[in-house]
Amino acid sequence: MDFNAVDVAARLGDTMTALSERVAACEHTSREFEKLHDEIPGLCVRISLTEKWQEAHPDTHRLEGNALSIAKAETDRRLHEMNEMRKQIDNERGTFVNREQYEQQHARLREDIMKGAAYNDAKIAELAKSYDAKISDLTKSRDTASGEQGFIEKFWPLIVAVAILVVQHFWK
């Protein structure tokens, strides 16, 4: 083995270049390791949460099943009530009057009311005339009376005074 200084120097240069590349690669690996090392607590938390989720997952499905059965029961109850209401409406449908019948009956009643109003107006006018006649007869009879007063009309103060005296006498 011949050691030539140029060969040694070239080999040494190649070795130094390879060594510097490996040092750079180690530094890069060291930085990546530090990044991963810093992420380890976060990963532990995520793994812990995932494990808890996996443990609770069957309970979630069980609770979803309970919620679905409760919702289905409530929906069935509401549908039953709506069907009952529909049956009631169907039963009562025959008791309602359609618009055409309503308008006919309304027009007939309006005519009857107008006829009745005309009849009532005539009756009221007739009654008013008869009452006016009776009042005028009373006025005439009062005006044409002799003007004489009856016994009670003349002596009512005396009658009241005697009644008071009698009550006071027997009251004691």
* Contact indicator for 150, 157 with CB cutoff of 8 Å: no
- pLDDT at res. 79: 93
B/e letters for 95-117, b = 16+ CB within 10 Å, e = fewer, are eeeeeeeeeeeeeeeeeeeeeee
pLDDT digits (tens, 9 = 90+) for 110-155: 777 777 767 777 777 777 777 777 666 665 665 555 555 666 777 7
pTM here is 0.31
Q: Where are the domains of the chain?
A: 99-140
Which portions of the chain are predicted below pLDDT 50?
1
